[in-house]
Amino acid sequence: MIPEHIRHKLRTIDSIATLPHIATEILSMMRNNNATMRHIAVVIEQDPSVTAKILKVANSPLWGYSGRVENVQRALVMLGLKQVSNIVIAISLYSTFAKLKPNPFFDRAKFWLHSVGTAQVARKFTSQIGLHFHGEEFVAGLLHDLGKMVLDQFWGDLFQEIIQEARETSQPIFSVEQKRLGCSHAEIGAYLLQNWNFPSSIVNVLAYHHTPQLSEGYRDLVGVIHISEILCELWGVGFDEDLESSSPYDNPSWQFLRQHSPKLSVFDLERFVFEMNTEMDNAQLFLNLVNE
């Protein structure tokens, strides 16, 4: 539970109290099973900046399409309605938070590389082990640490103390947050997404990505993001030592996912980590495209 004084501040901060308009519309339409690709395209095309970025992403190597995507409707046909909608939501949220004031103590470039890297790894990992989340794993991976950005921006001095204490005592950041704030960045991020009417599956990921064993639903998606974050840590793009070092094979989420994916029994983890260079290159490419 988030203490009332934290919730009150979150409700009164104009820059984060409201989800960007285009993302609100897309989420609403995705909940409406009658929404067509043309309806979605019209909403996206109302924002020239988002439209341009969608086309850049669609024409990049990220999704492996070799043709030319010249308009949003074509992007929807080639990538799928769910995939494009998830990308739009990701871009709009990224753009919102990327505009916030810089903090020399908080390495934003490293933060976003870790976030997008987790999203890319989650996408590849789920594909290889035969699980299907229709693009939600990308958005969940991208947003899993959203609460850290909020803490950095609006509780900056305290968050700096929390990070320093975590480093000095070798504790995970979320444990120190819980002690100092009465809640963690995971709960803060989940609170925001719930207020923005995000799907409960993604809200659940933010709430439990450090404690997947406590999740009462969507444990497969939560577990995928948890494991993807560990893989990013192993590869070298962790963020502020927020994870306890351990082999993914020993992780309860890995054991849980094995029940849903027989392919994990023969999964070559070492090779996967070695080949993560491509995913990190794609993560940086995504950041470059949405920053242009």
Give CA–CA dist 92/259, Å, rounded. Answer: 35
Q: Give the structural domain span for 126.
A: 4-291
Give CA–CA dist 197/194, Å, rounded. Answer: 5
Q: Is the torsion defined by CA of 237, 242, 247, 249 positive or negative?
A: negative
Specify the CATH number for the domain of residue 93. 1.10.3210.10
pLDDT (tens digit, 9 = 90+) per residue, 2-59? Answer: 999 999 988 888 777 777 888 888 888 877 777 788 888 998 999 898 899 888 888 8
Q: Are 274 and 124 in contact (CB under 8 A)?
A: no
Q: According to the model, what pLDDT value does residue 244 have?
A: 56
219, pLDDT greater than 90: yes
- Who has greater pLDDT, 246 or 268? 268
Query: If pLDDT is split at 50, 70 and 90, which confidence band does 275 have?
Result: confident
Which residue matches tokens 């988002």?
50
pLDDT (tens digit, 9 = 90+) per residue, 8-23? Answer: 988 888 777 777 888 8
How many domains does one find in the chain? Answer: 1
Q: According to the model, what pLDDT value does residue 240 have?
A: 59
86 CB-side CA count, 13 A = 20
